[in-house]
Amino acid sequence: MSIVRGCEIPEQLYYKVEHFVWARPERDGTVWVGYASPGCVALGEILSFTPRRVGKAVRKGMSCATLQSAHWVEPARSPATGVVVEVNQRALEDPLVINRDPYGGGWLVRIEPEDWGRDCGDLLTGSDAVLAFERLLAESPFIENT
């Protein structure tokens, strides 16, 4: 786990850094999708979470959920093309869990991707993701630059 500007970045996950989205593939072929800690900080307290329904198709780069805070509405963009197979019911009932535990209980949706091998090609992981977040957050007016 790395810390960038006070935000946790687990290095084993895959990231679309500019969208603040993370992905974690499972052995069964599905992929967990969540919103990274820096995105949660930039968005502020998440008051509403509206995911795509189970069974709905999602396209890579398009919204798989919508997050709303007091001042922003933000799409969580899918890291892969596929079908939503599970929605985080806990986050529907308590959207702040996304802020409190973005890499655990605050996940957003689980998808069954069409071709994870293709879709993960432009996602970053490990030190590449950490460096990309460092560059992005250095320029962000929403993240404390200490």
DSSP for 34-96 reads EE-HHHHHHH-S--EEEEPPTT-EE-TTSEEEEEE-SS-EEEEE-SS-EEEEEE-HHHHH-TT
Ramachandran angles phi, psi of 66, nearest 5°: -125, 135
Compute the average pLDDT of residues 97-108.
97
pLDDT at 146 over 80: no
Q: Domains for the chain: give ranges and CATH numbers.
A: 15-121 (2.40.50.100)
Instruction: Compute CA distances 126 → 13, 29, 99, whole Å.
Output: 7, 21, 22
pLDDT tens per residue across span 31-57: 999 999 999 988 999 999 999 999 999
123 in Cβ contact with 79 (< 8 Å)? yes
pLDDT tens per residue across span 52-61: 999 999 999 9
pLDDT at 142 over 70: no
